C-alpha cells in the first residue's frame, strides 16, 4: 500500500511539474469538485454543505494546490522567458537542456542563427536571454507572409516589423537550398556561436542544413537539430522517411554515435569530410513532452583548435 501511495504521489508530482500553474489549477479544480461532491455525499455530510458550497470549497482548495505547482520560471530563466512564445519552452521543454549548456554564454556578444522563424517567439526569447547577442532568423517565407499567417492563425505575433530590427535580423532562404544559404552567409557574415534548426524538419532539410552550416559555426560552438522525432514514422508521417529508415536524421546520428563518422545521402563528400574532422561530440536528448509524446533534440559541438584529432572509431579498431 505504501508503495502504491508512493507511486501515486510520484505520478501526481510529475504531472504537477509538467503542467503550468493555470492548467493544473483548472485540472485540480475539476478533480476536487467531482471528488468533493462524491466524497461528501458518501460521508453523508452534504446536509451541512450544499453542492454550491462544496464546489466553492473544492475550488478554493484547488487554487491553493495550484499555487504550489512549479510555474515555468522554476524550470529556469530561459524557460521563463520562452513561456507563451515558443514550443521549445512550453511543449518540448528543450529550454531546460539548452540553459545547462548555454548559460555561460549569456552575457557574451554571441551570434545565434535559428532556421525557422514561425511567429518569431523563439527569436525574441534568444535575444532577451542572450542580452548582448545578435540573433539571425531564416525562413522560407518572408516576414509579410509570416505576419499574415499569424493573423489568420490567431496565435500571438512576436515577429519584427522589418528584417533588420536592432539585434534581430531575418532573411528569406530555403534551408535545403545551398545557393540560398550561401547568400545568407554572405549577407550575415556567418561565424555563429550557435545554430539551431527548427525549420521544416524533413530528413533532407535537416541534413542538408547540418552539412552546409557546420563550416560557419565557430570552433567550440554548437549546432542543434531540433525535433529529431520526425525521424520516427510510428509517430510522424510526411517528413520524407524512406521505408527502410536508412535516410533518417536519427539513423545519421546513431551511426555517428556508433562509428564516430557521419553518413548521409543528402550530403556532399566535402561536407561529410568536414563534419568528420570537426565534430567534437553529438548529444541526443530524448524527453517526454507536455503532450505525453517524445521530443528529441540533438546537440553537436564543434571542436576547438586544441581538440585531439580523431578520424572515427572504425579506423581505431
Catalytic residues: 201
Site for ligand SAM in 165-194 (CB under 6 A): 174-176
Q: How far is the CB of 66 from ligand SAM (least distance, A)?
A: 27
Q: Is 29 in the site for ligand SAM (CB under 6 A)?
A: no
From the list 69, 110, 112, 140, which residue makes contact with ligand SAM (rule: CB under 6 A)?
140
Q: Which is nearer to ligand SAM, 145 or 286 (CB)?
A: 145
Site for ligand SAM in 191-210 (CB under 6 A): 198-200, 205
Q: Is 95 in the site for ligand SAM (CB under 6 A)?
A: no
Site for ligand SAM in 269-298 (CB under 6 A): none
Q: Is 118 in the site for ligand SAM (CB under 6 A)?
A: yes
The closest alpha carbon to 95, from 294, 287, 300, belongs to 287
Q: Which is nearer to ligand SAM, 115 or 228 (CB)?
A: 115
CA distance 82 to 105: 17
Please enumerate in sequence order all residues whose Cβ is within 8 A of that of 245, keeping only pairs 6 or more positions apart, or say none.
Answer: 231, 233, 251
Q: Is 116 in the site for ligand SAM (CB under 6 A)?
A: yes
Site for ligand SAM in 55-94 (CB under 6 A): 86, 88
CA distance 195 to 54: 54
State the alpha helices, DSSP H only, in the chain: 2-18, 21-42, 51-68, 77-82, 87-90, 94-102, 121-129, 143-153, 178-188, 203-213, 249-259, 269-278, 313-316
Please enumerate in sequence order all residues whose Cβ is within 8 A of that of 91, keeping only pairs 6 or more positions apart, or say none.
Answer: 289, 290, 291, 295
Radius of gyration of the CA atoms of the chain, in A: 24
Task: Answer for the pair 298, 228: CB distance below 8 angstroms, yes or no.
Answer: yes
Q: Which is nearer to ligand SAM, 180 or 254 (CB)?
A: 180
From the list 122, 134, 208, 248, which residue makes contact with ligand SAM (rule: CB under 6 A)?
122
Q: Which is nearer to ligand SAM, 54 or 227 (CB)?
A: 227
Q: Which residues pair with 192 in a beta bridge?
A: 217
Which three three-digit cell numbers place residue 98? 539548452
Judged by CB under 6 A, which stretch of 21-29, 136-144, 254-262, 307-315 contacts ligand SAM? 136-144
Q: How far is the CB of 200 from ligand SAM (least distance, A)?
A: 3
Which three three-digit cell numbers place residue 244? 527502410
Residues at the contact surface with ligand SAM, assessed by CB under 6 A: 86, 88, 114-119, 121-122, 138-141, 174-176, 198-200, 205
Amino acid at each position: 500500500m505504501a508503495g502504491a501511495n508512493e507511486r501515486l504521489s510520484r505520478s501526481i508530482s510529475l504531472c504537477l511539474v509538467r503542467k503550468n500553474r493555470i492548467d493544473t489549477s483548472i485540472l485540480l479544480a475539476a478533480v476536487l469538485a467531482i471528488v468533493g461532491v462524491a466524497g461528501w455525499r458518501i460521508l453523508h455530510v452534504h446536509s451541512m454543505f450544499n453542492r454550491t458550497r462544496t464546489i466553492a470549497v473544492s475550488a478554493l482548495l484547488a487554487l491553493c494546490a495550484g499555487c504550489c505547482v512549479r510555474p515555468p520560471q522554476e524550470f529556469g530563466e530561459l524557460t521563463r522567458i520562452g513561456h507563451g512564445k515558443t514550443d521549445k519552452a512550453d511543449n518540448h521543454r528543450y529550454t531546460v537542456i539548452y540553459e545547462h549548456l548555454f548559460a555561460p554564454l549569456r552575457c557574451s556578444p554571441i551570434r545565434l542563427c535559428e532556421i525557422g522563424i514561425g511567429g518569431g517567439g523563439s527569436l525574441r526569447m534568444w535575444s532577451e536571454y542572450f542580452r548582448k547577442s545578435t540573433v539571425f532568423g531564416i525562413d522560407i517565407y518572408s516576414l509579410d507572409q509570416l505576419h499574415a499567417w499569424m493573423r489568420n492563425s490567431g496565435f500571438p505575433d512576436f515577429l519584427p516589423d522589418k528584417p533588420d530590427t536592432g539585434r534581430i535580423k531575418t532573411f528569406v532562404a530555403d534551408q535545403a537550398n545551398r545557393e540560398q544559404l550561401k547568400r545568407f552567409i554572405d549577407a550575415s557574415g556567418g561565424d555563429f556561436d550557435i545554430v539551431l534548426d527548427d525549420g521544416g524538419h524533413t530528413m533532407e532539410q535537416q541534413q542538408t542544413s547540418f552539412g552546409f552550416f557546420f563550416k560557419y559555426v565557430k570552433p567550440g560552438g554548437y549546432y542543434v537539430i531540433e525535433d529529431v522525432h520526425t525521424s520516427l514514422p510510428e509517430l510522424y508521417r510526411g517528413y520524407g522517411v524512406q521505408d527502410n529508415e536508412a535516410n533518417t536524421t536519427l539513423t545519421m546520428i546513431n551511426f555517428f554515435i556508433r562509428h564516430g563518422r557521419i553518413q548521409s545521402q543528402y550530403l556532399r563528400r566535402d561536407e561529410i569530410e568536414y563534419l568528420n574532422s570537426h565534430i567534437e561530440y553529438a548529444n541526443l536528448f530524448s524527453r517526454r513532452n507536455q503532450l505525453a509524446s517524445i521530443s528529441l533534440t540533438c546537440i553537436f559541438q564543434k571542436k576547438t583548435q586544441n581538440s585531439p584529432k580523431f578520424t572515427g572509431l572504425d579506423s581505431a579498431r
